[in-house]
């Protein structure tokens, strides 16, 4: 009796389940992602906007935890149960998936023409022949400053390095504020907010970055050592005990109004807007002398690709074309200020700080972080070593020249540029 009842129940539920699918009669697309934080944005804004325009296609956003994402995705792809759309990490992790045949080639996808080569670089094969993810968002480096503090001390926003250090001197002499909120404890602050922030102005953005990959330039060249020399000069302007100051410490020092300048990434905007009680402004990394071309780090961070084994490839491509459209860019960039669309079409954003950051794209040339493409594939890992050496340079453990030499030696030990 009991078994019969159970069987009936199971049968009934499976029939009902099928009925549910049948009544929808739509194509349903699953999106794999590690951005659980964005769940609300997808559910409330992005998916309704897409579905309104494309009746018959349903989109389900199914994120997993960031730390589990890569492993879980790998297992699902191997088992054939992965979603139709796959959120792409930048560079090697996604490249590996493409090489294994898990990600489809999207070079000819309509909408791809909306992106520059720099924007696509994170999801393009080494020879540049195929692109496999649609770029979604990037983060821009620069400096966020406390507007109230600048007004009180009568400072104007620095454009050249001389003005920058003059401003720092003035803040230090006044003594009310810590000139710059940055610590070396977590290492990556020094590398990412320091070296990769000010560096592109020295190595001329993409020119230097690509020359480094080709082997035409070395990390011991003047253009690559000078940013370290500037970092070394930052030391006296950092707070007391900066050696043990962590990343959250730096954030808090700035948002509590105790520091005047914060070497930043644009991802801070969302948090700073909710925490800081004062007006904030931003300026790009200062250039050598007035009138020099400025370069900024506009680092590609998230993309979205197509599962090569997806059964709904056509519907998925429709969705990806929409992701490549200015409409998606506008919704996404406004929902997450600080994560900028990589779309070439200008995106209108409400947040003034985000607007400031993105306005630099018009006057400055964008580049990505120098260590991310190709150069961090071996051991020792150039990105990780750059963290350690940037902190060493600021702490005074290594001189800029020694740091550069160590990095180049590590790189030479495994990297042979294609001739």
Partner 1 sequence: MAAASNKPFRWHIGVFLAPAVLVYTAIMILPLFGTLQLSLFRSVEQVQTFVGLANFRTLFGDPNWSFNFWNALKNNVWFFIIHMVVQNPIGVMLAALLSSPKLRFTAFYRTAIFIPTILSFVIVGFAWKLILSPIWGVAPDLMWLVGLKSLFTPWLGKEQYALTALSLISVWQFVGIPMMLIYAALLSIPEEVIEAAECDGITGWSQFWKIKLPLILPAIGIISILTFVGNFNAFDLIYTAQGALAGPNYSTDILGTFLYRAFFGFQLQVGDPNMGATIATMMFLIILIGVCFYLFLVQRRLRRYQF
138 within 8 A of 111, measured Cβ to Cβ: no
336 within 8 A of 405, measured Cβ to Cβ: no
Region binding partner 1 by CB under 8 A among candidate stretches 32-40, 146-154, 184-192, 218-226: 184-192
135 within 8 A of 115, measured Cβ to Cβ: yes
Min separation Cβ 26 and partner 1, Å? 38
Give whichever of 30 and 196 is closer to partner 1, judged by the CB atom: 196
Give whichever of 353 and 407 is closer to partner 1, judged by the CB atom: 407
DSSP at 34: S
CA nearest neighbour of 358 among 373, 374, 336: 336
CA nearest neighbour of 103 among 316, 308, 290: 308
Site string for partner 1, 345-374 (x = CB under 8 A): --------------------------xx--
> How many binding residues for partner 1 (CB under 8 A)?
37
Interacting residue with partner 1 among 45, 58, 170, 185 (CB under 8 A): 185
Distance of alpha carbon 149 from alpha carbon 128, whole angstroms: 46
Q: Is residue 272 close enough to count as binding partner 1 by CB under 8 A?
A: no
Site string for partner 1, 187-226 (x = CB under 8 A): xx--------------------------------------
Q: Give the angle subtended at the CA of 297 by the CAs of 296 and 303, to the nearest 5°.
A: 135
Q: Is residue 265 close enough to count as binding partner 1 by CB under 8 A?
A: no
Distance of alpha carbon 59 from alpha carbon 56, whole angstroms: 10
Site string for partner 1, 294-333 (x = CB under 8 A): ----------------------------------------
Give whichever of 50 and 254 is closer to partner 1, judged by the CB atom: 254
415 within 8 A of 378, measured Cβ to Cβ: yes
Task: Pick out residues in 70-99 that bind partner 1 (CB under 8 A).
Answer: 91-92
Q: How many other β-carbons are positioned within 10 Å of the β-carbon of residue 110?
A: 12
Q: Are strands 57-63 and 364-367 parallel, antiparallel or unpaired?
A: unpaired
Site string for partner 1, 375-394 (x = CB under 8 A): -xx-xxxxxx--xx--xx--
215 within 8 A of 209, measured Cβ to Cβ: no
Tokens of 214: 């080709």
Min separation Cβ 376 and partner 1, Å? 4
Q: How many other β-carbons are positioned within 10 Å of the β-carbon of residue 210?
A: 15
Min separation Cβ 371 and partner 1, Å? 7
Q: Is residue 184 close enough to count as binding partner 1 by CB under 8 A?
A: yes
Give whichever of 174 and 243 is closer to partner 1, judged by the CB atom: 243
> What is the C-alpha end-to-end distance of the chain, expressed in Å?
77
Site string for partner 1, 222-251 (x = CB under 8 A): -----------------xxxxxxxx--x--
Distance of alpha carbon 221 from alpha carbon 154, whole angstroms: 38
Name the site residues for partner 1 (rule: CB under 8 A). Answer: 91-92, 183-188, 239-246, 249, 253, 371-372, 376-377, 379-384, 387-388, 391-392, 395, 397-398, 410, 413
């Amino acid at each position: 009796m009991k078994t019969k009842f159970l069987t009936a129940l199971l049968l009934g539920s499976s029939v009902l389940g099928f009925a549910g699918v049948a009544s929808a009669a739509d194509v349903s697309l699953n999106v794999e992602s590690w951005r659980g934080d964005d769940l609300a944005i997808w559910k409330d804004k992005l998916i309704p906007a897409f579905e309104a325009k494309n009746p018959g296609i349903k989109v389900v956003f199914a994120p997993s935890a960031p730390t589990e994402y890569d492993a879980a995705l790998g297992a699902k792809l191997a088992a054939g149960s992965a979603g139709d759309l796959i959120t792409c990490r930048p560079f090697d992790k996604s490249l590996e998936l493409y090489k294994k045949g898990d990600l489809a080639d999207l070079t000819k996808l309509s909408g791809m023409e909306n992106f520059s080569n720099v924007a696509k670089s994170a999801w393009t094969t080494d020879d540049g022949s195929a692109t496999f993810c649609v770029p979604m968002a990037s983060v821009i480096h620069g400096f966020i400053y406390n507007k109230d503090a600048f007004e009180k001390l009568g400072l104007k926003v620095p454009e050249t390095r001389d003005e920058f250090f003059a401003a720092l001197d003035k803040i230090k002499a006044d003594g009310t504020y810590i000139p710059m909120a940055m610590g070396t404890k977590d290492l990556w602050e020094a590398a990412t907010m320091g070296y990769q922030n000010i560096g592109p102005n020295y190595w001329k953005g993409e020119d230097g970055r690509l020359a480094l990959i080709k082997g035409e330039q070395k990390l011991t060249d003047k253009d690559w050592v000078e940013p370290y020399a500037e970092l070394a000069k930052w030391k006296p302007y950092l707070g007391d005990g900066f050696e043990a100051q962590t990343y959250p410490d730096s954030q808090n020092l700035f948002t509590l109004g105790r520091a005047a300048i914060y070497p930043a990434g644009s991802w801070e905007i969302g948090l700073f807007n909710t925490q800081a009680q004062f007006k904030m402004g931003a300026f790009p990394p200062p250039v050598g002398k007035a009138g020099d071309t400025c370069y900024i780090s506009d680092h590609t961070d998230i993309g979205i690709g197509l599962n090569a084994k997806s059964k709904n490839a056509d519907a998925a491509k429709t969705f990806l074309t929409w992701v490549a459209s200015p409409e998606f860019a506008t919704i996404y960039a406004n929902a997450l200020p600080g994560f900028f669309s990589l779309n070439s079409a200008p995106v209108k954003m409400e947040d003034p700080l985000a607007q400031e950051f993105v306005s630099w794209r018009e006057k400055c040339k964008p580049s990505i972080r120098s260590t991310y493409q190709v150069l961090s594939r071996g051991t020792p890992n150039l990105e990780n070593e750059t963290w350690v050496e940037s902190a060493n340079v600021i702490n005074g453990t290594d001189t800029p020249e020694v740091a550069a030499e160590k990095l180049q030696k590590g790189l030479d030990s495994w990297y042979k540029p294609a001739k």
